[in-house]
Copies of this chain bind each other. A is one copy, B any other.
Amino acid sequence: MSSSEFPDKAADLSSPAAIPPRERIVSSAADLFRKHGIRGIGVEAIAEAAQTNKMTLYRKFGSKDELLCATLRQVTQRAGALWDELERDFSEDAAAQLKRWVEFQVERLEQEPGGCDLANAAVELRDSDHPAHAVVQEFKNAQRDRLAAVCEAAGSSDPQLLADTLSLLLEGARVSVQTSGPEGSSRRFRESCEATIAAFSSK
């Protein structure tokens, strides 16, 4: 503790730079929860990963559960933003929008082999009274409704059932990646969706 007090400022990319500690904590928490599970990581490790300490973490978030809910809410917001971006790319052809949605989910499936953070959290927290469950449930139903709107616009024979079916396929694919590996049923998620959409195409 004497000379050269800031050894590798070059490696301090994007961490204590301009981003306020609260956001750093949420980002680190999301990352570590994803890697190790909620019960598998301690608050101290989260604080260190965020280049801060446990005390400031507890000043921003009253408890680990609160921090968890905050990270889940960030995940839902990010997912919502991706939806918005996707819809901006939508062509006017409503049928093409559904195919675009499928492609989008295929990409996420390949790029995020850890599955859905929200679903994983809900599975890990068996206690359905946990506040995180409300966040997850609200988000999942919202996602389904947005998808149903697309199905409706595409003029399928039974838009609600199509949305539910595609939702189940997606949820199943994102967990199958974890249970059966990348060579499991999730590998054919795209074809499953296409066959389903074709089956529901009106007249």
Residue of B34, B39, B170, B180 near A137 (CB, 8 A) is B180
Assess whether A168 is in contact with B140, with CB atoms less than 8 Å apart.
no
Asked if A202 CB lies within 8 Å of chain B CBs, one says no
Assess whether B37 is in contact with A124, with CB atoms less than 8 Å apart.
yes
Asked if A16 CB lies within 8 Å of chain B CBs, one says no
Contact string against B for A residues 126-145, beta-carbon threshold 8 Å, 1 for contact and 0 otherwise: 11000000001100110010
Whole-angstrom distance from the CB of A172 to the nearest CB of chain B? 3
Q: Which of A46-54, A76-84, A94-102, A113-121 faces chain B? A: A113-121
Q: How many interface residues does chain A have, given as a range?
A: 35 or more
Q: Contacts A179-B140, A196-B199, A199-B195: A37 and B126 contacting too (C-beta < 8 A)?
A: yes
Whole-angstrom distance from the CB of A146 to the nearest CB of chain B? 13
Whole-angstrom distance from the CB of A33 to the nearest CB of chain B? 9
Asked if A153 CB lies within 8 Å of chain B CBs, one says no
Assess whether A168 is in contact with B176, with CB atoms less than 8 Å apart.
yes
| 6 extra interface residue pairs, beta carbon distance < 8 Å, beyond A140-B180, A168-B168, A172-B172 | A37-B125, A119-B178, A137-B181, A144-B184, A169-B169, A171-B175
